[in-house]
Structure 1
Amino acid sequence: MADVPRKNSWQLADHIGHTTAHRFEHLLDRAKWDADALRDEVRSYVIAHLGRADGVLIADDTSAIKKGRMSVGMAGQYCGLTGQVENCQVMPMLTYASAAGHAFVNRRLYLPESWTGDPQRRARAGVPEHVAFRTKPQLVIDMLTEELAAGTPFRYLCADAAYGRDPHLRAFCHERQISYVMAVPIDLPLVAARGEVEPVGHVLDRILALGRAGVWERRSCGAGTKGLRVYDWTAVSAAVAGQAPAPGHAHTLLIRRSVSVPTEVEFFLAHAPAHVPVPELIDAAGMRWKIEENNEHGKDLLGLTSYQVRKWTPWHRHVTIAMLALAFLAAMRAALPADADETAGKGKDRLLLEAPAG
């Protein structure tokens, strides 16, 4: 949490007066400690301070653009930071969010097949033998399994369309009776009234053809950096082709339309117990952006991707320590008096860094 431009071993060592970075490097590489055990402690700390029965888990991946080919997981792959293929590492993350606050509780490093299928490259980076290729949605399934085993209290899983489109992730949620509100692509196959399969986009076409303003309802889905995020919403019952909901649950298609640019539309598939009110689903859809805030604070304030490590173990240790720092700040912010929230929009970074240590 020090005021250091890049939170790597050398700059942190210089900040506290060390002549070398050996001690920080030892902590991340050779020291004897378990990053997964620390991850479990971070989760317990977050739940103790922010846990609520109506909390949500949010899945998304973030990227770290790096140079060279030696850093574990490094490959030419899609980078969410730039929207194009970059030489980067991709890390699926899991955030816990409630009315009290939000912080990371789990993490994974995505290893492309070019890594998992190269024994020499794996050995140089210290990748454990048991680690096999897993898609990003499969890594989220692994993290969800850990959260269920840990008893993490949450009502919904939220994610963007990169995860909502994956049938295996949805099937896992159906099998475990996990409610979710995930963005989905326009070509997600649904079952139409007469039994034929049609893409999600056709539902919007029929709604627009009705031409009735009353089909849409203007609602906020939460507060953003510029105030309430207000959109026009509509909802219809849905049947996903080849994928039934869990017993007692139902699928609902939420359609969100921009107020200022009506052609900007996003689709959300909700899986929840039957008769859950639509406003609750809209609120859940709005929680997805909390992980974007965690990514921003993690990178800009806490050096989440400032590392200069190349191997598997140091990567997990650095990222988990950054998660711990964010969890501490989120817990301290949650303990501030209610009127402190009024200043959050004016200087949220300062509020995070200046939270009282008591």
Structure 2
Amino acid sequence: MAAEDVVGWERELAASTDGLGGLFNRPEPRRVFGDFVRALLADVPKKNSWGLAEHAGYATPRPFEHLLDGAVWDADLLRDAVREFVVDRLGSPVGVLVVDDTQALKKGDKSVGVAPQYYGLTGDVANVQTMVMCTYASPAGHAFVDRELYLPEVWTSDPARCRAAGVPTDRQFATKPQLAVAMLTRAVDAGVPFRWVVADSGYGKDARLRGFCHDRGLSYVLAVPKNLALLDARGRPTRPDRLHARLPVGVFERRSCGAGSKGARWYDWAAHAVTVAGEDPASGHAHTLLVRKSTTPRTRDGKTFYDVEYFLAHAPTATGVPDLVAAAGTRWTIEENNGQGKDVLGLDQYQVRKWTPWHRHVTLSMLAQAFLAATRANPGKDPRIQEATS
């Protein structure tokens, strides 16, 4: 949904931001808060404090800068309000929590969490901040409901550097999957209705994340690497690519895993019951290996091959393959949210360096996206956010 679609929603948007006025104990930041979100939704070329303030009619960016770094309010309370709003508007028993990370390219070494890291846009290492995001997806739509800033060990091992960037003193090193567990824990504790947890192999390969889901009885479809430790029917070590190599050609079935930007996304799928080495599924659940193969081959260096991806599913024993395939297909929703957040809603266009301003800007962008998702899901219906704070 383009930013210009917001035209005509002024009353609903004002009601939504006014409903969160309890975040602030003074009227000035309360008013600036509404103007900030409104500017994020507008057609502003550069959505940092300067660009947003100019659009809002401020003589200087100082009111917006103060909102991000100075005013007294809790970005985690706003995060929780956004999650509640998304669930209220998009919630479904068949909802999916999708976890992935995205990066913001930055200069210098002062911005909190910045370091040479994998940069998904180019596939290379670059000087970036990495944000771990969680999307809630349902048949009604999808939007971010949580976020965590990843701090590499070069940061957490340097207390002075963390202190200068305003990182809380109790913040310890946590891997990206550990941050994902923290977000999933908040969702479960908040009673978010969902059926599946979905993520790429950077998260699926993590035994602690899988163990959390087993302990909580959560169903998942996680992409996994080809060398994930499995056991065959005789208890001997094996792995996804070896199981795949022994599958008969006729076992694959062509299925769509959902609609994409170019229509249905068709792949050839095969499913195989598996045992994960050292891991027991939750009671009443079983593990299944899904093999996804492209429908047409590619040629490189004179060799023809198919693109293959492996997924480990953990689900109630009666779950059918079509349900597993559909869950796997929801991973694209967070890719769309990441793209929309950056291209339309200024998710990565901040010019802040410290911990608190980063969380405030990113959560404000999440609020803007939630408003868009609610309006798309309920055209013509007032999408205001009810008061979630006191």
TM range (shorter): over 0.9
Query: 1-side partners of 2:227 and 2:272: how far apart?
Result: 16
| 1:211-290 correspondence runs (5 A) | 212=249, 214-261=250-297, 263-290=306-333
CA distance in 1, matches of 2:364, 2:56: 18
Structure 1 residue 142: Cα displacement: 0.6
Q: How does 1:319-330 map to 2 (within 5 A)?
A: 319-330=362-373
Partner Cα distance (1:336, 1:315) in 2: 32
Q: Is 1:309 matched up with 2:349?
A: no
Matched-pair contact (CA < 8 Å) for 2:226–2:239: yes
1:200 aligned to 240, 243, 252, which one?
240
Q: Deviations over 1:58-95 (max 9, x none)?
A: 00000001101000000011111211111000011000
3-state SS of 1:320 partner: helix
Residue of structure 2 in register with 1:106 after alignment: 146
SS where residue 289 of structure 1 aligns? helix
Q: What stretches of structure 1 move > 6 A for 4+ residues in a row?
A: 355-358
* SS across alignment from 2:133: strand
Question: Shift of residue 356 of structure 1?
Answer: 8.6
Query: Would you say 1:334 and 2:377 are equivalent positions?
Result: yes
Paired position in structure 1 for 2:98: 58
Q: Is the 8 A contact 2:371 2:383 kept in 1?
A: no
Question: Structure 2-normalised TM-score?
Answer: 0.85
SS of the residue aligned with 2:189? helix
CA contact (8 A) 2:47 2:349 kept: yes
1:16 CA drift (Å):
2.5
Q: 1:34 aligns with which of 54, 69, 74?
A: 74
CA distance in 2, matches of 1:152, 1:334: 18
CA distance in 1, matches of 2:257, 2:352: 39
Partner of 1:300: 343
Q: Which string of whole-angstrom CA distances, capped at 9 and with x for unpartnered residues, describes residues 86-106 of structure 1?
A: 100001100000000000000
Q: TM-score, normalised by structure 1?
A: 0.92
Give how far 1:260 is off.
1.4
SS of match in other structure, 1:108 = strand
Counterpart-to-counterpart distance in 1, 2:283 and 2:239: 24
RMSD, aligned CA: 1.3
Matches of 2:183 and 2:234 in 1, distance apart?
38
String of CA shifts for 1:10-41, please: whole Å, max 9, x gaps: 11112223221100000000001000000000
TM-aligned CA deviation for residue 357 of structure 1: 7.5
Deviations 1:160-200 (A, max 9, x none): 00000000100010001010001000000110122111121
For residue 177 of structure 1, what is the amino acid of its counterpart? G
Unaligned runs of 5+ in 2: 1-40, 298-304, 385-390
Q: For residue 18 of structure 1, what is the aligned residue in structure 2?
A: 58
Partner of 1:170: 210
Select 2:137's aligned residue among 97, 105, 117. 97
The CA distance in 1 between the partners of 2:155 and 2:243, in whole Å, is 41
Q: Which of 57, 78, 86 is equivalent to 2:118?
A: 78
Q: C-alpha distance in 2, partners of 1:51/1:16?
A: 33
